[in-house]
Amino acid sequence: MLDVSVKELVVSKMGSGWKTQFPAEGEKLLHLQPGYTIRDIHEKLRLGPVELSGGAGLTWISVASGTRVSAPCKRGHIFSWHYHPDGDSRFSADDWISFVISEAQMTLLLTANHVCLYTKLHKGKCREVRKAINGDENSASYRPNLRLVRFTKLIQKGLKTHDWTLCAEDQIASALGINYEKEVVK
């Protein structure tokens, strides 16, 4: 996965619409050569003590800095990414919720030593999960804390457990209609 062209990876799983995506105005960008790889992203980013996030296009990645425990989730990217400075190569509840409700079809989680790729499967399960987490967007219940409660209930029921955080990342992804791949960075 690390040395496969991001273009090939994204187009093979999501189609060619990604090629025409442009960064939002004002986003900080790193420009890359066409055919760049996930390893190129990992090497070009200045990984440090704060979370980073962004999106990716044909020859660019956008970069937004966060805090030690979170990074802003930019909307509108088909392919997104973020970095955990603590080395934790698992999604937090907020990461899962952000990805499920976002437009992104694929996201990359980077740590100093791992790269994890999450891809929404197009079989409807992820859409159902998104709807269940969001609830009625026009009501007063459209709040992040209720999203977390809904997500927790949904995932614990799907995994038949009282503590979903003890489950393996691939089990959680599968229960949400998401494909999960992990690779060690050497």
Q: List the one residue out of 170, 55, 40 whose CA is nearest residue 105.
A: 55
Residue 64 inside a domain? The answer is yes
The count of other CB atoms within 10 Å of the CB of residue 168 is: 11
pLDDT given at position 135: 79
Q: Does the residue 1 lie in any domain?
A: no
Q: Considering the domain boundaries, does residue 150 fall inside one?
A: yes
Count of H-run helices and E-run strands, the chain: 6, 7
Which segments of 26-110 are extended strands (E)? Answer: 28-31, 52-55, 60-65, 79-83, 106-110
Locus of tokens 């393996």: 168
The Cα–Cα gap between 85 and 103 comes to: 25
Has residue 28 been placed in a domain?
yes
pLDDT (tens, 9 = 90+) of the chain, 186 residues, equals: 999 999 998 888 877 777 778 888 888 999 999 999 999 999 999 889 999 999 999 999 999 999 999 998 877 888 999 999 999 999 999 999 999 999 899 999 999 999 999 999 876 788 888 888 887 655 544 577 888 999 999 999 989 999 999 999 999 999 999 999 999 998
Residue 144 lies in a domain: yes
The answer to whether residue 133 sits within a structural domain is: yes
User: 51 near 71, Cβ under 8 Å?
Assistant: yes
Which residues neighbour 139 within 8 Å (Cβ) at sequence distance 6 or greater? none
Q: Is residue 101 part of a domain?
A: yes
- Position 16 scores a pLDDT of 76
Number of domains observed in the structure of the chain: 1
Q: Which domain holds residue 22?
A: 6-184
Amino acid of residue 17:
G
Q: Where are the beta strands (DSSP E) in 74-172?
A: 79-83, 106-110, 114-120
Question: What pLDDT does 13 receive?
Answer: 81
Residue 165: inside a domain? yes
